[in-house]
Chain A
Amino acid sequence: MRSERPALAVEGLEGGYADSAVLRGVTLEVRPAEIFAILGKNGMGKTTLLKTMMGLLAARSGRVEVLGADVSRWAPYRITRLGVSYVPQEKSIFQDLSVEENLRLALRDLSEFTARLEAVARWFPILKSRRGQRAGTLSGGEQKMLLIGRALLTRPSLVLIDEISEGLQPAVITKLREVLTEERRARGLAIVLVEQNVDFAFALAQRYAVLKVGTVVETGRTADVGARERIERHLVL
């Protein structure tokens, strides 16, 4: 039964900033244990969409449902407690806090911290070996590992990831791909990937949506014939 309700359903979502409407009626649905890519050029509203879904920006109208609960107008902390992790693109770690402190901030029940850290450290050993290091001194790739590690620490059912692949070395990208694929397979994790990197998105996602000037102009399966070409055209124009 559980698998019947979508991991994430967005319906007619409008929103943006005080003086500019960015989202103009976004509708999409992400199924349980699905990796879903949201593609689009800069300034098309991808980040705004994630922040609005997370409650960090107020929606003007529309509806967001997460794991079966209507979370429209909820405070962000309540949404995360349903089992949602959010990985922002910018200013996404506390530079002046240690690796461990960054991780601890994601957990509400600290008694589980050691066990959870062990689990995440199987993917990214540096998170344990360098737990005392100031997060701002990690390399770019290591910081991304910290981001994903922190997102997985809470054993979420849904993860929203904003342009994780940008500026990363191929080796790190490969690693992240492996981790995300495996988490989905093993735990039924649903993932929303906001990306401009179509290769990375297609390597992971089952379905996709293309966002253009605040609306979804196309959705489909990544396995569909001609999907890539259509997307490339959208991203060029």
Chain B
Amino acid sequence: MFTTQLLDVVTTAGVLYIVALGLLIVYGVLKIINLAHGAFLAVGAYAGVVTTGLGWNPWTALLVAFVIGVAGAALVEWRVLRGLYARPMDTILATWGLNIIVVQLITLYFGREIRFAESAIGRAVNIGGATYSEYRLVLLLLAVVLGVGVWLVMQRTQIGIVARAVIMNEELAQALGINTRLVRFVTFGLGAGLAALAGALLTPLVSVHPNLGVPWLINAFMLVLVAGVSLLNLALAALVLGGAQVLVSSYGNPVLGSLTIVILAVIILRFRTITI
């Protein structure tokens, strides 16, 4: 039981981390919460439906999802968001509008009913004396790989330094000759690509329907509010809030458990406004 619960906590944190990563990156650089994040999750999930429907290997869905996410977001950034950055509130509203449009387009094409995407892994494995879902363990591994990968890019590459500079002080970055418009463009695309990738990764866990992103968006939003713009904080927040959710669901009940993330987030935010 203990092993299972420990695995529940870390894998839940892993899933949350994967889902929230794109949102955090966009929030850091563009200073807006991308409310279309949930729609991009759905786009990724449907990429899984289409690719496995064509008989392709389920893993190819990840690449397809990422590419479609990046391309779609790039188009939207270029045609819509770019003109709105001077009005942050309108930009956020625009992403919500984008969310509605994308979900409706998916509904029009695929219908509201649930769709089937084949899973790459459906087995359970034995780990530490407990039988556990292999796919959740794979997700945990991917979360770590993605986390370390993005962290290395941010720390070690010029692109990462530029992104961090824009996060810390956009005006100064501009003054030093950084094309912040391009940075925003790339970041929004990358964030949406990661969201779509996360959506494709979710399909073996959940059913695919146009609104599947909504509950994930809410949790990811809370995590980003708590974590700010730090990747390490995001991992911590996923571990603490996701872990609390699992434990409250296990020892209390899942109805309380699902409130845990929101309630804890509010408490942490209140606490933070005092200390910082």
Do A and B belong to a common assembly?
yes
Contact across chains for A106 and B176 when beta carbons are under 8 A apart: yes
Contact across chains for A94 and B175 when beta carbons are under 8 A apart: no
Contact across chains for A104 and B175 when beta carbons are under 8 A apart: no
Residues of B within 8 A of A96 (CB): 164, 168
Contact across chains for A92 and B177 when beta carbons are under 8 A apart: no
Residues of A within 8 A of B171 (CB): 56, 88, 91
Contact across chains for B177 and A81 when beta carbons are under 8 A apart: yes
Question: What CA separation (Å) do A76 and B171 show in the bound complex?
Answer: 9
Residues of A within 8 A of B169 (CB): 91, 94
Question: What CA separation (Å) do A106 and B177 show in the bound complex?
Answer: 7
Question: What CA separation (Å) do A54 and B176 show in the bound complex?
Answer: 10
The answer to whether B95 has its CB under 8 Å from any CB of chain A is no
What number of A residues sit within 8 Å (CB to CB) of B?
A: 25
Contact across chains for A75 and B179 when beta carbons are under 8 A apart: yes
The answer to whether B99 has its CB under 8 Å from any CB of chain A is no
Q: State how many angstroms separate the Cβ of B271 from the closest Cβ of chain A.
A: 23
Inter-chain contact total with CB atoms closer than 8 Å: 57
The answer to whether A17 has its CB under 8 Å from any CB of chain B is no
Residues of B within 8 A of A97 (CB): 161, 164-165, 168
* B-side interface mostly: helix
Q: State how many angstroms separate the Cβ of A47 from the closest Cβ of chain B.
A: 12
Contact across chains for A94 and B177 when beta carbons are under 8 A apart: no
Contact across chains for A94 and B168 when beta carbons are under 8 A apart: yes
Contact across chains for A105 and B161 when beta carbons are under 8 A apart: yes
- Cβ contacts B161-192/A at 8 Å (1 or 0 each): 11011001101111111111100000000000
Residues of A within 8 A of B181 (CB): 75
Q: State how many angstroms separate the Cβ of A57 from the closest Cβ of chain B.
A: 10
A88 — nearest CB in chain B belongs to which residue? B175
Q: Which residues of A line the B interface, CB within 8 A?
A: 54-56, 75-77, 80-81, 86, 88, 91-97, 101, 104-106, 108, 110, 150, 154
Given contacts A93-B172, A97-B161, A105-B161, 19 further A-B contacts (CB under 8 A): A54-B175, A55-B174, A56-B174, A75-B179, A75-B181, A76-B177, A81-B177, A86-B175, A86-B176, A88-B171, A88-B175, A91-B172, A94-B165, A95-B168, A96-B168, A104-B158, A105-B173, A105-B176, A150-B176
